[in-house]
Structure 1
Amino acid sequence: MKRSATSRSAASDVAAESAAAVVDGGAPDGAQGEPADRLEAHRTELTGYCYRMLGSAFEAEDAVQETMVRAWRSYDRFEGRASLRSWLYRIATNVCLDQLKGSRRRARPMDLASPSSVDTPIGTGLPETTWIGPVPDQRVLASAGDPAETAVARESVRLAFISALQRLAPRQRAVLILREVLSWSASEVAELLGSSVASVNSALQRARATLAASADAAEEPPRPLDDAQEALLRRYVDAFERFDMDALTALLHEDSTLSMPPYALWLRGRDDILKWLRGPGCGCAGSHLVPVAANGRPAFGQYRADGLPWAVQVLDLADGRVTALNSFLDTERLFPLFGLPLRYGGSPPS
């Protein structure tokens, strides 16, 4: 089923429907009108949780919508024996586990094959369900909070970490996210999953071992951009928009990577990336880059010279260089998700 990139716009519909249902269906006196607001207050963190579980911004928003619908339908039976937040996470976990039944894990191109050569045909795109997709920071990260918690949250939505999570069985995935990212106690996770503390601790141990063997999980975590990185990004935008290969040579790490979902082809090494841009990627000449933020990383909406969408670029930075250029080409859905207009200089989607 095709999902709308603007499923977030349904939030107001859920809120209105929720309030109407409570009026009709029996929240305690004096609480009418409050449930929808109380539920919506948890939307961002729930979306982040579901995105870590599912690897897709669109599936995460669908899962949160389903969580909200189930929650307000059952709100009159919520007796407050647990916190509202814990109750919502229990619902969201069940929704995600149901959604993951029988599905293949999502991946990045580098998870599926060795790097390609510049001469490799780009091939045909694989289905959207193959790929881990990008997510706007504002959909999954709180705008304010404890700096240490914010750093953990940013690290836990980076593409490499999401890729590592996909290697875990779904219940292990839930345990690791709840324990390591959200800092729940083992007893809280056991209660949520209807399991024992011993089972939770065993699942966490196995999940940690799997992640420890993953190069993705060991990748340098993101940090707030400093002045040097901000300067690096300005130089990158200038060089890319001028399509200056000499300038890009100075900015790309020698072992940098380029990937382009929905295509499985990916490249490793600055020389191959620059050869590809001069050859098959020459359509990028004259591009315009519009800054956005995705997966705790700097990102850009890339428009072609004719002003039409080309890609959402998510960059990895380390050691004063660009180490990865992740280009996502599903612009029909991704540009509205990021609030980007479908023509350069146009109006953003409502």
Structure 2
Amino acid sequence: MIVADAPDPRVLEAARGGDGEAFRALVEPHRGELHAHCYRVLGSLQDAEDALQETLLRAWRGLDGFEGARPLRPWLYRIATNVCLDAIARRPKRVLRLDDSSPSQPDAGPGTPLVESIWIEPYPNEHLGLPDGYAAPEARYEQRESVELAFVAALQHLPALQRAVLILREVLGFSAREAAQSLDTTAASVNSALQRARRTVDNVLPERSQQQTLRSLGDARLRGLVERYVEAWESRNVDAMLAVLAEDVTFAMPPFPHWWSGRESVMDFIVSTGKPSLRHVVTRAGGQPAIAWYIRWPGNEPFLPAAMEVLAFEGERVKEITAFASPELYPFFGLPAELA
């Protein structure tokens, strides 16, 4: 008996026979969500790209072992999850800022860039078409909420198995049995890991997600706040900048190790950077407002990518600024390589 959501037997048979177009027809509807899944687990765009490609390669090679009467989606997620667990075992966890370091003095400068593979990267959910809402009725976290920087950073505090279990159960809405099948374990082990993961994540996450905060602001008010922030930054207007920053705002600039805490300290650092010639593109990253900054250096005509700032709000004030000084991120967001 063929169950609902099982792949078309003719397409499956063609793919098993080596038809690349048939295989693409099978997996393409799942590509976007699998990419987001790999990103949540790994916290890196490039690692997610690599994991997705490895997932599709393993699926192509293992198609003969897939039970054609079953849904394809759980089978693909099982492969993707195990690819990501293999990747986690080979590298250190990722961070937004160095949790074991104290805030820097404004005159300390950004410091020497650290190896970028330790940093969480922002997710281009708007560009990649990640949908609103929940992935399943049983999910606890919204899809956009689950790619927010704070959520992905919280996941990095979890051991690999707990991280995978929480994503499968709370983000994707898999049952304990389905998650256990994906991880080659028991439902009891999944439930135990989930309870431990929930405790850790609940202790680390802020009280409100950015999606809740942004909905309370509304689109029009949010646009106005972002415009005020951009104008204050471009003009280096100290009073205007102070008016948009929360008292306990933080500013981090991966891959540079130094970070600043408190409105006065952050403002002193911003002023110390001078007043370069800037342009910008407003976008979204991880469901949050983001500004892609372009800078024109003396002697150069075009404005070139400098840093992408992802903003987190608390009420009408900017609570966190994470400026990813990584121009290689811009193509993932469909951003131009330069501005005239």
TM-score (norm 1): 0.84
2:228 pairs with 1:239: no
Equivalent positions of 1:238-317 (< 5 A) are 238-279=231-272, 281-282=273-274, 285-306=276-297, 307-317=303-313
Determine which of 217, 221, 226 is the counterpart of 1:228.
221
Greater alpha carbon shift after TM alignment, 172-181 vs 78-87: 78-87
After superposing the two structures, state which structure 1 stretch, 72-81 or 315-324, moved more.
72-81
| Pairing 1:118–2:109 present | no
Q: Which amino acid aligns with 1:302?
A: W
Q: Structure 1: which amino acid aligns with 2:337?
A: L
Q: Which residue of 1 aligns with 2:165?
A: 175
Q: For residue 209 of structure 1, what is the aligned residue in structure 2?
A: 199
Q: C-alpha separation between the residues in 2 aligned to 1:205 and 1:146?
A: 21
What is the rounded CA distance, in whole Å, between the counterparts of 2:337 and 2:20 in structure 1? 40
What's the offset of the Cα at 1:317?
1.2
Q: Distance in 1 between matches of 2:296 and 2:267?
A: 19
Q: CA deviation at 1:182?
A: 1.0
Q: CA RMSD in A?
A: 2.5
3-state SS of paired residue (2:231) = helix
Distance in 2 separating the partners of 1:300 and 1:101: 33
Q: Kindly indicate whether the alpha-carbon contact (under 8 Å) linking 1:243 and 1:286 is maintained by their aligned counterparts in 2.
A: no
Determine if the alignment matches structure 1 residue 106 to structure 2 residue 94: yes
1:15 corresponds to? none
Q: How far does residue 217 in structure 1 lie from its aligned partner after superposition?
A: 5.0
**Contact 1:67/1:91, CA 8 A, preserved across alignment:** yes
Task: Describe the shift of the 1:310–1:136 C-alpha distance in structure 2 as closer, same or farther (beyond 3 A).
Answer: same
What CA distance in whole angstroms lies between the structure 1 residues aligned with 2:280 and 2:133?
A: 30
Provide the secondary structure at the position in 2 that maps to 1:41. Answer: helix
Local SS of the residue matching 2:108: coil
Instruction: State the Cα distance separating 1:241 from its structure 2 match.
Output: 2.2
Work out the CA distance in 2 between the residues paired with 1:81 and 1:248.
59
- 1:58 matches 2:46: yes
Indicate the residue corresponding to 1:10 in structure 2.
none
Following the alignment from structure 1 to structure 2, what is the Cα–Cα distance between the partners of residues 217 and 253?
Answer: 15
Count of residue correspondences: 319
Look up the SS of the partner of 2:274 in the other structure: helix
The answer to which of 88-97 and 205-214 deviates more is 205-214
1:337 to 328, 332, 338: 332
- Segments of 4+ in structure 1 off by > 4 A? 21-25, 144-151
The residue identity in structure 1 corresponding to 2:176 is A
Give matches, 1:185-204, under 5 Å.
Answer: 185-204=175-194
Unaligned regions of 5+ residues in structure 1, if any?
1-18, 346-350
Q: Which residue matches 2:4?
A: none
The 1-side partners of 2:134 and 2:78 are apart by: 24
CA distance in 2 between partners of 1:139 and 1:73 (Å):
30
The alpha-carbon distance between structure 1 residues 144 and 173, as it changes in their structure 2 partners (threshold 3 A), is closer
**Cα distance between partner residues in 1 of 2:192 and 2:146:** 21
- Superposed, 1:316-327 pairs within 5 Å as 316-327=312-323
Q: Distance between the aligned counterparts of 1:32 and 1:249, measured in 2?
A: 56
CA distance in 2, matches of 1:142, 1:178: 17
TM-score by length of 2: 0.86
1:121: how far off?
4.2
Tell me how far apart the structure 2 counterparts of residues 142 and 213 of structure 1 sit (CA, whole Å): 27
Once residues 198 and 174 of structure 2 are traced to their aligned partners in structure 1, the CA distance between those partners, rounded to angstroms, is 16
Whole-Å Cα distance in 2 between the matches of residues 226 and 24 of structure 1? 45
Task: Please state whether the residue corresponding to 2:251 is helix, strand or coil.
Answer: strand
1:68 aligned residue: 56
- Contact 2:126–2:287 (CA<8 Å) still a contact in 1? no
